[in-house]
Chains A and B, each alone.
Chain A
């Protein structure tokens, strides 16, 4: 059932009309139905308007995945505000900088985010109000209590504010880090998000019977798409913030009859190497599909997943960018094995081209940049017209990914334009080496870098997260690489780490990772 919902919060309002008593969000002991969520989102919206929020005002939300997060996200949108959601791990100086740039009218924080906020002076930043909104310890067991929300909100009206908001106006700003430079605020309109949501619902075949297990943070654009898609169809979202305890996530998936699970590559690496997933093969009869986005997943992990997941569970490999709201392509599961390295075909409403540096479309098999057009392409980067012009032009959105298409219209990404490493005269694609390292089965995650070197300009080095660390791990990996790759592609050194440094959007942070090798240079002298 396709509907032209003009605004993002219409998803919630429609489902509250059609399925008021249905569980919309499940989080530990909380089971919040659509009517409850919509009612509180409305109260919050009215409260925000009373605090001075006008259409187009930014409202910053720093809150972990929870029922309260969902209420706040939609409440901000209903008030005509622009929702800017940030990680609760944000450091005080990072938050202060963002707040200066955004000049939000209201700041909403959960008790967990308290640390970053205590160091701030809201008044000097022009913030009209700071709201502290659960989940606190009292809120956890009291679903219907106003304990999670500021007292004055309980007196606000429960009705949809029904503001006349232009679908083309900005609904959200999502921060993303490129491979270099400070995080940029991607501005997404209501129309961007609703178009992308419809397209995703279509290829996943989502219905009101769908129940999504959410382990990814809502402040990522992928996390939000899980929320928006399921709210649009009147499904249910199960929040589990304890993915570290993989056994408990799988247990909950079985208990709740979860129909869909979504992850980024490290989620699946964790699931494959550090969880009883294999033992659950016969215990997840309802698991209709798993989906993967958020970056390149090595082929060996995809193949391993296909082996270990229940036979009836379809695996959707997907590709996108925050700048595209975020989905651009997907691989139809029945084609996955034949197109195992592909990022798939464009979703409805998206046109994807491979362009030469001069902007000419290339023939199948020729490598160029992936450039996308569609209703889901962002409005631009907040406060940064220069950066926006660099990626948005008459051809569309320049993804910064290099790749090609095949004769059947399937696309492939070979590497990120900026990640190419030049070592001793060779141009090296780190991804190829990273995939090889993962194939050795000795590491669950890795990152290959070009470390500055006095002699060669750059030398190849890598960070690895071992599956199970032993004295032979590094040697084993290097031996495997030497057997599979030409000599110049074998990293000169490897360092074992607990995890790969990630950017604020969850992608490997090459800049920060290089720091692991800085002391080496000093020692060399």
Chain B
């Protein structure tokens, strides 16, 4: 799971933070931090589906699964297990 975290952090940093992830903790809400909004989420989901070969169901559009780097890591761990 740790390896997902750093990959995800890298993706978010490159795609949404223009290379600067200094203040984003693993447990910081991406929505609250203004890193992501309702369209950014869809991009993130597309990326996760393509990169990790998973399918994110509509019912899984929950903050517990997607709103922090730690949550995304755990979610990926479950989906790829």
A247 interface residue, CB < 8 Å from B?
Answer: yes
Known: A241-B31, A245-B66. A498 touches B39 (CB 8 A): yes
Give the CA-CA distance A338 to B38 in the complex, in Å: 33
Further contacts, 13 of them, CB under 8 A, given A251-B62, A499-B39: A89-B34, A112-B34, A242-B63, A243-B38, A244-B38, A245-B31, A245-B41, A245-B62, A247-B60, A247-B62, A275-B58, A498-B40, A498-B43
B42 interface residue, CB < 8 Å from A?
Answer: yes
Kindly report which residue of chain B lies nearest to residue A445, judged by CB atoms: B39
* Chain A residue total in the interface (Cβ 8 A): 20
B22 interface residue, CB < 8 Å from A?
Answer: no
A246 interface residue, CB < 8 Å from B?
Answer: yes
User: In the complex, what residues of A have CB within 8 A of residue B58's CB?
Assistant: 246-247, 274-276, 279
Contact indicator B57/A276 (Cβ below 8 Å): yes
Complex interface residues of chain A between 245 and 261 (CB less than 8 A to chain B): 245-248, 251
Q: From residue A108, how far is it (CB to closest CB) to chain B in Å?
A: 20
Interface CB pairs A-B, < 8 A, 8: A242-B31, A245-B63, A246-B58, A248-B61, A274-B61, A276-B58, A276-B59, A465-B39
Contact indicator A244/B62 (Cβ below 8 Å): no
Complex interface residues of chain A between 43 and 95 (CB less than 8 A to chain B): 89
Q: From residue A283, how far is it (CB to closest CB) to chain B in Å?
A: 11
User: In the complex, what residues of B have CB within 8 A of residue A248's CB?
Assistant: 61-64
- Chain B 64-80 interface mask (CB, 8 Å, partner A; 1/0): 10110000000000000
Contact indicator A274/B31 (Cβ below 8 Å): no
B21 interface residue, CB < 8 Å from A?
Answer: no
Contact indicator A274/B42 (Cβ below 8 Å): yes
Contact indicator B38/A276 (Cβ below 8 Å): no
Kindly report which residue of chain A lies nearest to residue B60, judged by CB atoms: A247
User: In the complex, what residues of B have CB within 8 A of residue A241's CB?
Assistant: 31
The listed residue with most A CB atoms (<10 A of its CB), out of B42, B46, B63, is B42
Give the CA-CA distance A248 to B42 in the complex, in Å: 15
Q: From residue B63, how far is it (CB to closest CB) to chain A in Å?
A: 5
User: In the complex, what residues of A have CB within 8 A of residue B46's CB?
Assistant: 469
Give the CA-CA distance A247 to B36 in the complex, in Å: 17
Give the CA-CA distance A469 to B40 in the complex, in Å: 14
Kindly report which residue of chain A lies nearest to residue B45, judged by CB atoms: A274
Give the CA-CA distance A516 to B52 in the complex, in Å: 32
Closest 9 CB pairs of A and B: A276-B58, A244-B38, A247-B61, A499-B39, A244-B41, A276-B59, A498-B39, A248-B62, A247-B62
Give the CA-CA distance A208 to B52 in the complex, in Å: 48
A270 interface residue, CB < 8 Å from B?
Answer: yes
B37 interface residue, CB < 8 Å from A?
Answer: yes
Contact of B36 among A244, A274, A499 (CB under 8 A): A244
The listed residue with most B CB atoms (<10 A of its CB), out of A241, A242, A275, A499, is A242
Q: From residue B16, how far is it (CB to closest CB) to chain A in Å?
A: 11
User: In the complex, what residues of A have CB within 8 A of residue B66's CB?
Assistant: 245
Contact indicator B63/A270 (Cβ below 8 Å): no
Contact indicator B62/A275 (Cβ below 8 Å): no
Q: From residue B64, how far is it (CB to closest CB) to chain A in Å?
A: 8
Contact of B59 among A244, A279, A498 (CB under 8 A): A279
Kindly report which residue of chain B lies nearest to residue A280, judged by CB atoms: B59
Contact indicator B31/A244 (Cβ below 8 Å): yes
User: In the complex, what residues of B have CB within 8 A of residue A247's CB?
Assistant: 58-62
User: In the complex, what residues of B have CB within 8 A of residue A275's CB?
Assistant: 58, 61
User: In the complex, what residues of B have CB within 8 A of residue A112's CB?
Assistant: 32, 34
Complex interface residues of chain A between 263 and 277 (CB less than 8 A to chain B): 270, 274-276
User: In the complex, what residues of A have CB within 8 A of residue B43's CB?
Assistant: 498
Give the CA-CA distance A519 to B41 in the complex, in Å: 28
Give the CA-CA distance A241 to B57 in the complex, in Å: 21
Give the CA-CA distance A276 to B58 in the complex, in Å: 5
Give the CA-CA distance A469 to B46 in the complex, in Å: 9
User: In the complex, what residues of B have CB within 8 A of residue A242's CB?
Assistant: 31, 63, 67
Contact indicator A245/B39 (Cβ below 8 Å): no
User: In the complex, what residues of B have CB within 8 A of residue A89's CB?
Assistant: 34
Q: From residue B25, how far is it (CB to closest CB) to chain A in Å?
A: 12
Give the CA-CA distance A465 to B40 in the complex, in Å: 12
Q: From residue A235, how far is it (CB to closest CB) to chain B in Å?
A: 26
Known: A241-B31, A242-B31, A244-B31. A276 touches B39 (CB 8 A): no
Contact indicator B59/A245 (Cβ below 8 Å): no
